[in-house]
Amino acid sequence: MNIVGCILFVIAGIIAIKVSGVTKKQGLSDYSKCNTAIGKVTHTEDCCGDRWIVYFTDDSGRKQVGMDDIIAASSFSNKYKGPTSGTDEKVYYYPRTDNSIYRINQDSVDYYIHFCNEDLYELQRHVANRTDIMGKIIGSCLIFAALLILIFG
């Protein structure tokens, strides 16, 4: 029975370490290759929580609606001042690839946005690094616990 517990702890530790690496990669996306636009910032609350919504005109001249992908409006730390609702902000935008459907006032949300702000990049990198480190620590602790179970059984 100790072997089964040991194996489960090792598997859980490996999963924790792998998941933390995936989270870090998501937090370090390079938005500089995306299209940019100046858009009107609004803020909304939905079933997912607070989201930043930006109305902008894309390269083809069509009015579009974009929604933040990674950092929600409620998750800004004191190190970064979030955009003010009703202001014009420069944003990166890229098409949504998931299958979910978002609508705001009958407008389909077809793009994710990311604010063109180096402070936000730094915050994003900091959060991604912290998550990666915590995942590795938790995974290592689980693997260490597996070794203790195996040795002291």
**Tens-digit pLDDT string for the chain (153 aa):** 778 888 888 999 888 888 776 655 555 567 778 888 999 988 765 555 567 788 999 888 889 888 876 655 445 555 556 677 788 888 888 888 777 777 777 788 888 887 777 676 677 677 777 878 888 899 999 999 988 888 887
**What pLDDT, on the 0 to 100 scale, is given for residue 137?**
92
Q: How far apart are CA 16 and CA 19, in angstroms?
A: 5
61, 83, 110 from 113: Cα distances, Å: 17, 13, 10
Are the C-beta atoms of residues 139 and 145 closer than 8 Å to each other? no
Give pTM, 2 decimals.
0.58
